[in-house]
Amino acid sequence: MTYDDLRAALSAYMKRTDPETIANEPTALEMARLAVAQVFFPREAELTVPALAIVGGASPLPTDYGRALAVGDDLEYMPPRVWQLFEGTDTDALAGSYTVLGGQLLVHPSITSLRFSYFGRPQAIIGAASNWLSTNFAPVWLHAARAEQYRFIEDMPSADQADAYWQGLARTFAGESETTRRAGGALKMKGR
């Protein structure tokens, strides 16, 4: 589904013709995209940088970064506050760990490159463009945008219902996405 398709569907769902509500549709779609990007991480959003360059223990995060999935060879997440405590005093304590701070991926200074897998946020789109969210999970985005439009017209009970609906859809789709990731049958071991 393209951006134009989403906007037309939102307009049809809302059944409103007042110019203010129609003019708010792009804002509602953008706010919905950002809201969904905070909580919805299906398999279709997984991206990998095979060799992310690290300079001085830091690398800028990709522009569509949403959440880390796998960093290097099983590096473990360390909260930024703890990282900052060790950074100036005991860099050996940072070995085997990573953190995300200020739009950067931080690792031990001895690392110069690593494999980086992450969940990408759905990119902003306009017109006939689409992204992974609009292509695979258009109902989630559409109903999140309905919630934003209901808030705009100050219909909070309907906004709450639309929020519950899109969040339920997101949970269902995320579960289905995870099931397809793990599908493939049982592992069978051969004897010697």
Could you tell me the maximum CA-CA distance found in the chain, to the nearest angstrom? 74
List strand residue ranges (DSSP E) for the chain, in order: 46-53, 58-60, 65-71, 76-77, 97-101, 104-107, 113-120
Structural domain harbouring 84: 46-120
Separation of alpha carbons 50 and 47, rounded Å: 10
The end-to-end CA distance of the chain, in Å, is: 52
Query: In terms of domains, do 25 and 64 share one?
Result: no
Tens-level pLDDT at each residue, the chain (192 residues): 999 999 999 999 999 999 999 999 999 999 999 999 999 998 889 999 999 999 999 999 999 999 999 999 889 999 999 999 998 888 889 999 999 999 999 999 999 999 999 999 999 999 999 999 999 999 999 999 999 999 999 999 999 999 999 999 999 998 876 655 555 544 445 555
Q: Are strands 76-77 and 97-101 parallel, antiparallel or unpaired?
A: parallel
Instruction: Find the angle CA(53)-CA(57)-CA(58) to the nearest 5 degrees.
Output: 65
Q: Given this model, what pLDDT does residue 91 score?
A: 85
DSSP 75: P
On whether the CB atoms of residues 11 and 25 are closer than 8 A, the answer is yes
Q: What is the pTM of this model?
A: 0.78
192 falls within a domain: no
Q: Are strands 46-53 and 113-120 parallel, antiparallel or unpaired?
A: antiparallel
Separation of alpha carbons 66 and 64, rounded Å: 6
129 falls within a domain: no
188 falls within a domain: no
Separation of alpha carbons 8 and 2, rounded Å: 10
User: Which residues face 99 on adjacent strands?
Assistant: 106
14 falls within a domain: yes
Q: What amino acid occupies position 61?
A: L
Query: In terms of domains, do 50 and 36 share one?
Result: no
Query: In terms of domains, do 102 and 79 share one?
Result: yes
* Count of residues in the chain: 192
Number of domains in the chain: 2
Query: In terms of domains, do 116 and 150 share one?
Result: no
Q: Given this model, what pLDDT does residue 25 score?
A: 97
What phi and psi values does residue 112 have, to the nearest 5 degrees?
-110, -15
Query: In terms of domains, do 51 and 109 share one?
Result: yes
Separation of alpha carbons 80 and 17, rounded Å: 48
H/E stretch holding 135 reads helix 132-136
